[in-house]
Amino acid sequence: MNDILQQQYTLVQSSRVVLLNFIETKVGAGLNARAPAFDGSTIRYLLVHNANCYLQWLAVFAQKEVIAQLNDQDFTTISQIRELFNLVDNTVVAFLKNFKSKMDIPVAGTLSRNREATVTPLQLFTHVTTHEFHHKGQIVSMCRLLGQIPPDTDIIRF
Q: How many domains does the chain have?
A: 1
- Give the rounded distance of the alpha carbon of 102 from its chain centre: 23
In a domain, residue 150? The reply is: no
In a domain, residue 130? The reply is: yes
In a domain, residue 155? The reply is: no
Q: What is the pTM of this model?
A: 0.96
Instruction: Kindly give the residue spans of alpha helices, DSSP state H, lying in the chain.
Output: 2-22, 43-54, 78-98, 121-145
* Cα-based distances in Å from 67 to 58, 63, 87, 91: 11, 11, 11, 11
**Which residue segment(s) compose the domain that 40 sits in?**
2-145
pLDDT (0 to 100) of residue 157: 85
pLDDT (0 to 100) of residue 113: 86
In a domain, residue 151? The reply is: no
Tell me the pLDDT of the chain (158 aa) as tens digits. Answer: 889 999 999 999 999 999 999 999 999 999 999 999 999 999 999 999 999 999 999 999 999 999 999 999 999 999 999 999 999 999 999 999 999 999 999 999 988 888 999 999 999 999 999 999 999 999 999 999 999 999 999 989 87
CATH number, domain with residue 138 = 1.20.120.450
pLDDT (0 to 100) of residue 110: 87
pLDDT (0 to 100) of residue 65: 96
What is the Cα–Cα distance from 50 to 82, expressed in whole angstroms? Answer: 12
User: Quick one: DSSP state of residue 133?
Assistant: H
What is the Cα–Cα distance from 63 to 56, expressed in whole angstroms? Answer: 10
Give the other-Cβ count within 10 Å of 54's Cβ.
24
In a domain, residue 82? The reply is: yes
In a domain, residue 84? The reply is: yes
In a domain, residue 158? The reply is: no
